[in-house]
Amino acid sequence: GLKFFPVVGWAERGGGNAVGHGNSVPRFHITWGTGPGVLEPFVLRVREAQKRGLVQFRFRHRVNEIIRSGNTVTGVRG
């Protein structure tokens, strides 16, 4: 149910390339509505996955590697 404003902005546009200051692609999007409602769909989904044993939270741990299987993130290593 989250809806985005149909204009993509260029926050901190900078030099426009991946090696210079700023972003090489748009990274600034405005949603209709703000606050906790923006995060709620994601929080509910990850908390449900936690209950099912699919996600484990490890606060204050450093991640050194993102583990992928094809285009899917399957874990992290730290």
**Per-residue pLDDT at 50:** 97
Q: Quick one: pLDDT band at residue 40, thresholds 50, 70, 90?
A: confident
- Phi and psi dihedrals of 68, rounded to 5? -125, 150
Host domain of residue 72: 36-77
Q: Taken in order 30, 35, 38, 42, is the CA torsion positive or negative?
A: positive
> Residue for token digits 């989904």?
45
Nearest-10 Cα torsion for 68, 70, 74, 78? 0
User: Is there a contact between 22 and 14 (Cβ–Cβ < 8 Å)?
Assistant: yes
**The total number of structural domains that make up the chain:** 1
Looking at the predicted structure, is the pLDDT value of residue 11 above 60?
A: no
Please check whether residue 29 lies inside any domain of the structure: no
Please check whether residue 72 lies inside any domain of the structure: yes
Interval 8-15 mean pLDDT: 58
Please check whether residue 58 lies inside any domain of the structure: yes
Please check whether residue 14 lies inside any domain of the structure: no
Please check whether residue 22 lies inside any domain of the structure: no
**Per-residue pLDDT at 67:** 95
Interval 64-75 mean pLDDT: 93
Write the pLDDT tens digit of every residue in 22-37.
Answer: 666 666 667 777 677 7
This prediction has a pTM of 0.49
